[in-house]
Structure 1
Amino acid sequence: MTVDLLIRDAYIYVDRDHEIADGWLAIKDRRVHSVGAEVATAPPARTILSARVQLVTPGLINAHHHMYQNLTRAYAPVTNGTLFEWLTGLYPLWADLDAESVYLSTCVAMVELLMGGCTTSMDHMYVHPKPFLIDAQFRAARDIGFRFYATRGSMTRSVKDGGLPPASVVQDEDTILADSERLVAAFHDASPGAMGRVALAPCSLFSVSERIMTESARLAEKHDLRLHTHLAEDPDEDRYCADVYGCTPTEYFERVGWATPRSWVAHYIYPSSDEIDRLAHAGVCTAQCPCSNMMIGGGAADAMGMRRRGMRVGLGCDGSASTDHGSMWLETRMALLLGRFRNGPHSMSARDALDMATRGGAACLGWEDEIGHLRPGACADLVIWKMSDIARAGALSDPVEAWLRCAPAVAGTTIVNGAILVEDGVPVMSNLAEILRDHAREARRIQRL
């Protein structure tokens, strides 16, 4: 049998506890066909790539992102603000989003993610000043060939209701619920190997009504969907929940029916130990966003501590205007550094961080059967990593540790659904210059420059 593509001469991280030195990997019909250690056992292939002893891993999975925010990166008036100051300063700018600016920002975000080794990403689009913004995101994903998991975010509380955003970016409950149903019908593909799926994602406990939380849980049960929200991200959230609901954020999360295996949450920085145990037991996953949390100074979750308690933990880039980048490699490296800084040098390895960026992200998305590993039958989503000879000089004993320690590393080849989307570190996209030109125009418009 002839396969479509054979990658040889590689150090292959197939899955946790399964690595092959000087191995090969075969792709056929957009799936991992087989892996092996002896090149003589590899099947014949139409195309052969030599990885030249580089590291090959599953594509990294971004479990929390806000792609549109790359239109306001490093926005000077809020670069040194707290989370709430940062949001208050940027919401009026995001009120000018439309389908064109969201399409362009999504294209830029997905290309940037591909260059950082990410092959599947969710996006939490919760600002809706215009209709059909998530439709524009799916169009971008199709144009690029990116595996995309949209989450239909929402806000119902504007400044006049005691919230942070202007009225122009929030929606009423019936509009949110009707559009959620529409998006699921139009774009959610539950079949194996899907390139597009939809989850429901009210922005945060302090930005939506209790009805939206409970009705989203009901719709998720009806359509067999995932649920996502921000949770326990900032001490202000604790004070808000105590004042409004008479409980902690986690207690409210449980009260509205979200403590189920359908749910994954972003950040989860300020829970009690008992609350972590309860959500872990309920099957809730979390996405740590190391760079964003450190940039805004809001603290960071103890990811390895949560893992020890049984909670599945993925990684996310978070907002492209808080992290100001879209590299999952950088997030994975930062997770390693942050974990070791917090708990000591024996607490976390590069393999732990890679597991969070692959299997952990897949668990967040409820997609562990097909993505996050390279076992035969998995989706053909993978990365051949590229490091300069200078950066890896002397790193001879452990390619996985060297991948995060001997920085920087970039995606030399990124493959999604069996297609090469980054080759020799360059995106395979003929109109990228045009996209960047138009994105710059929209960024100037939104920043009013």
Structure 2
Amino acid sequence: MSTLLIKNARNIITMDAERRCHPGGSLFIEDQEIKAIGTNIPYEDADTVIDAAGKIVYPGLINTHHHLYQTFTRNIPWAQDCELFDWLLTLYEIWRHMRPEDVYLSAMVGLSELLKTGCTTASDHFYCFPDGVSGELIDEEIRAAGELGIRFYPTRGSMNLGRSQGGLPPDEVTQSAEVILKDTRRVIETYHDASKFAMVRIGVAPCSPFSVSEDLLRESARLARSYGVRMHTHLAETKDEEDFCLAKLGLRPLEYMEKTGWIGRDVWYAHGIHFSGDEIHRMGACGCGVAHCPSSNMKLSSGVFPVRSMLQAGVHVGLGVDGSASNDASNLLGEARQAYLLHKLTAGSAGPTAEESLWLGTVGSSRVLGWEDAIGSLEVGKAGDLFMIDSRRLEYAGALFNDTALPVVTGISQNVDMTVVGGRIVVKDGRLVNIEEERIAEAAGAAALRMVQAASRRTGVNYLRHRGRV
């Protein structure tokens, strides 16, 4: 077993139930597990010893919703000023040109950015499987996560309701229900680890009410529960989605989920903006969770998530960056700050404090993923997942009055100094330990350009100019 000792920290922010902090504290990790934390712990030696003088230690952040494959369609001018449905229709034309290596490289980029900004556990929702391309694309993301050393929670997504059947996506990026369910079983049986300190867990994730059939929703729920894995989907993100559900299904989005078995403590939704008060209470009563994605919701003009109502009703709420193409970044620490500022704007003093916003990205997110026994806070018996920032940086001068709120209030302007996952250092001095960053960046840039150029040749659209402009 490997051991890690972090000693003499300026402060250790635990985010435990009592919100304890340990100024001048130390932390000892054996293998993946925290064995001791405090100011006078009975450990002086370890395989690796870090003198954390001047550093503040925080629990690793937890990302509850992402689309890593979208990393290659960030900052596309043609899609920059669209709302959700038009945005999707634009980018489907590029995503249909994905290859397995593109999925691997995009995951490397997105997960790397998450690690460099303090995220130690990332969920991903992969649902786009172009015709003629290997169906084992989620495997490429899992390979990337393993190389980087991040704790990973991919969800096997799906779309089977193409345009010819009244759905939104082109038929060329959908699969049959039979293919979807067969591969979902394969992914669960191959990769899912239910152990406390697992590095990979799998979820089941049909994409949305406007891209999957009712039968697939029902069968996916049955499959997930037969394996004891969690369930994830987009829901109540936009008014367009609500209108679609009412027109096509005669039900509001949550009513449709209730009809198809998609409610309960093993379910979490992405976005959850357009719920009524009664629906929020029903979600809280059944234990559902929601991934709050403030940057994406603002960029796509989707609306403002009712965070206080959700929390008061007992809904589990965590943070997600959403796809990089609707955020243009994979920075969960930045997302905590966005949540803090957005709700200050819309709710004033009723919005979450900076400390509550950090809680959403740690403890709150761990509850959304049903993993609060191992991650989300720094406590004896939990995983040694953490990040550190150096309080002696220029950008923190004059701000060192509340160490817990510091990274949210000040808005971190660069990468964290160190990220540790399961007691293993994966980011050191702001750089990834396990990969050559420049090599990945060069390969990823070339792959992204190839996809955009292929889409332009096929459609005749110049995606590198703004829509409706010369």
Query: In the TM superposition, what is the alpha-carbon distance from 1:224 to its structure 2 partner?
Result: 0.2
Query: In the TM superposition, what is the alpha-carbon distance from 1:242 to its structure 2 partner?
Result: 0.8
* Aligned residues of 1:2 and 1:44 also touching (Cα < 8 A): no
Gapped runs of 5+ residues in structure 2? 455-470
Residue 249 of structure 1, aligned match among 247, 253, 265: 253
User: Secondary structure at 2:393's aligned position in 1?
Assistant: coil
Please report the RMSD computed on the Cα atoms of aligned residues, expressed in angstroms: 1.6
Distance 1:158 1:82 in 2: 20
More deviation, 232-241/298-307: 298-307
In structure 2, the residue matched to 1:445 is: 450
Residue 371 of structure 1, aligned match among 372, 375, 378: 375
Distance 1:2 1:320 in 2: 35
Distance 1:406 1:198 in 2: 35
Query: In the TM superposition, what is the alpha-carbon distance from 1:387 to its structure 2 partner?
Result: 5.4
User: Secondary structure at 2:10's aligned position in 1?
Assistant: strand
**What is the CA deviation profile of residues 42-73 of structure 1, one whole-angstrom value per residue up to 9, with x for unaligned ones?**
44333321222332111100000000111111
Distance 2:69 2:392 in 1: 32
Distance 2:392 2:444 in 1: 30
**What is the CA deviation profile of residues 149-198 of structure 1, one whole-angstrom value per residue up to 9, with x for unaligned ones?**
11000011122222222211100111100011110111111122111111
Say whether 1:258 aligns with 2:262. Answer: yes
Within 5 Å, which residues of 2 pair with 1:1-40?
3-16=3-16, 17-38=19-40
Distance 2:241 2:430 in 1: 41
* Aligned residues of 1:159 and 1:166 also touching (Cα < 8 A): yes
In structure 1, the residue matched to 2:235 is: 231
Distance 1:337 1:54 in 2: 25
User: Secondary structure at 1:336's aligned position in 2?
Assistant: helix
Distance 2:2 2:197 in 1: 21
* Aligned residues of 1:304 and 1:339 also touching (Cα < 8 A): no
* Aligned residues of 1:22 and 1:53 also touching (Cα < 8 A): no
Distance 1:218 1:22 in 2: 50
Say whether 1:109 aligns with 2:110. Answer: yes
Say whether 1:197 aligns with 2:198. Answer: no
In structure 2, the residue matched to 1:344 is: 348
In structure 1, the residue matched to 2:46 is: 45
Distance 1:421 1:261, change over 3 A: same
Distance 1:397 1:145 in 2: 33
* Aligned residues of 1:110 and 1:146 also touching (Cα < 8 A): yes
Query: In the TM superposition, what is the alpha-carbon distance from 1:83 to its structure 2 partner?
Result: 0.7
The one-letter amino acid paired with 2:440 is I
**What is the CA deviation profile of residues 99-123 of structure 1, one whole-angstrom value per residue up to 9, with x for unaligned ones?**
1100010011111100111000011
In structure 1, the residue matched to 2:437 is: 432
Within 5 Å, which residues of 2 pair with 1:64-213?
64-129=65-130, 130=133, 131-213=135-217
Distance 1:388 1:296, change over 3 A: farther
More deviation, 217-226/12-21: 12-21
* Aligned residues of 2:138 and 2:156 also touching (Cα < 8 A): yes
Distance 1:26 1:84 in 2: 49
The one-letter amino acid paired with 1:306 is M
In structure 1, the residue matched to 2:463 is: none
The one-letter amino acid paired with 1:273 is G
The one-letter amino acid paired with 2:292 is Q
* Aligned residues of 1:71 and 1:105 also touching (Cα < 8 A): yes
Distance 1:440 1:389 in 2: 31
Distance 1:412 1:2 in 2: 22
Query: In the TM superposition, what is the alpha-carbon distance from 1:439 to its structure 2 partner?
Result: 0.9
Residue 417 of structure 1, aligned match among 410, 416, 422: 422
Distance 1:192 1:136, change over 3 A: same
The one-letter amino acid paired with 2:174 is V
* Aligned residues of 2:209 and 2:235 also touching (Cα < 8 A): yes
Query: In the TM superposition, what is the alpha-carbon distance from 1:381 to its structure 2 partner?
Result: 0.8
**What is the CA deviation profile of residues 365-401 of structure 1, one whole-angstrom value per residue up to 9, with x for unaligned ones?**
1111001111111111100124563221122321112
The one-letter amino acid paired with 2:268 is W
> TM-score when scaled to structure 1?
0.96
Distance 2:187 2:35 in 1: 33
In structure 1, the residue matched to 2:457 is: none
User: Secondary structure at 2:24's aligned position in 1?
Assistant: strand
Between Structure 1 and Structure 2, which shows a larger proportion of strand residues?
1
Distance 1:103 1:25 in 2: 34
* Aligned residues of 2:148 and 2:435 also touching (Cα < 8 A): no
* Aligned residues of 1:268 and 1:301 also touching (Cα < 8 A): yes
User: Secondary structure at 1:321's aligned position in 2?
Assistant: helix
User: Secondary structure at 1:149's aligned position in 2?
Assistant: strand
* Aligned residues of 1:235 and 1:270 also touching (Cα < 8 A): yes
* Aligned residues of 1:362 and 1:368 also touching (Cα < 8 A): yes
User: Secondary structure at 1:411's aligned position in 2?
Assistant: coil
More deviation, 250-259/391-400: 391-400
**What is the CA deviation profile of residues 270-300 of structure 1, one whole-angstrom value per residue up to 9, with x for unaligned ones?**
0000000001110100010011111111112
* Aligned residues of 1:193 and 1:379 also touching (Cα < 8 A): yes
User: Secondary structure at 1:45's aligned position in 2?
Assistant: coil
Query: In the TM superposition, what is the alpha-carbon distance from 1:304 to its structure 2 partner?
Result: 2.3
Distance 1:15 1:402, change over 3 A: closer
* Aligned residues of 1:385 and 1:411 also touching (Cα < 8 A): yes
**What is the CA deviation profile of residues 206-241 of structure 1, one whole-angstrom value per residue up to 9, with x for unaligned ones?**
110001111111111100010000000010111111
* Aligned residues of 1:10 and 1:55 also touching (Cα < 8 A): yes
- Give the % identical residues: 40
Distance 1:189 1:267 in 2: 27
More deviation, 18-27/265-274: 18-27
Distance 1:179 1:364 in 2: 25
Distance 1:31 1:111 in 2: 23
User: Secondary structure at 1:332's aligned position in 2?
Assistant: helix
Distance 1:2 1:352 in 2: 33
Query: In the TM superposition, what is the alpha-carbon distance from 1:7 to its structure 2 partner?
Result: 3.4
